[in-house]
Each structure stands twice: as structure tokens, then as C-alpha cells.
Amino acid sequence: MPSVQRAYEYFRDTEIEVITISIDDRGAKDVKPFLKEHGYTMPALLDIKKEEFSKLGLLGTPGTFIVNRSGKIVAKAVGPVDFDRADFREYVKGLL
């Protein structure tokens, strides 16, 4: 999560949006305090029923998706991703 927050901050003033989706069963009751406690400011959408999780074909977490302006998934990773890597950031910027 720390590198997701840094990616959010890095891309904040661009056309790229970094959004997290939580599948925590207790929803905002757990998610909001967790984000606040760790100083995370990126948006966190709630998917308590795991509907979006299922639509994306995820079987576990974390999952990373890069979606273009048309709403098409152009890249997908299951498992940890290092959002601090220069090649990752350059790839994402190249999609603009």
C-alpha cells in the first residue's frame, strides 16, 4: 500500500488516476480508520459484495489494472506490484 500511495501522489496532478478498491466485508467501518491510521489519501472504493472483484476475474488480492480512457483494461497484474519502479511509471505515462 505505501507504493500505491506514492503512485497516487506522483500522478495526482496528471490525467492518470490511482484508485484502490477494498473488498473488506466490514466496508467503511474498517477501511476509513485503516487509511487514516496509515496516512493514505488515495481514493478507496468499497466492493463489499465483491461484484467488481468477480467481474475482473480476481481470485485473490492484490490485483492491479490499468484502464485506458475508453474503459478498456490494457494491462493486468495479479500479486504485488512495485509502483515505485521507473519503468512502471514510464509505461503508465506512455498511455497518455
- pLDDT per residue over 9-56, tens digit each? 998 888 888 888 888 888 889 999 999 999 999 988 888 898 888 888
**Single pTM value for the model:** 0.80
User: Which CATH architecture is the domain 2-94 placed in?
Assistant: 3-Layer(aba) Sandwich (3.40)
The predicted pLDDT at position 93 comes to 86
Angle at 12 between CA 80 and CA 71, to 5 degrees: 70
Q: How far apart are CA 30 and CA 47, in angstroms?
A: 13
* pLDDT tens-digit map of 59-95: 778 888 888 778 888 888 888 889 999 998 998 888 8
For the chain, the structural domain boundaries read: 2-94
Distance CA 38, CA 70 (A): 33
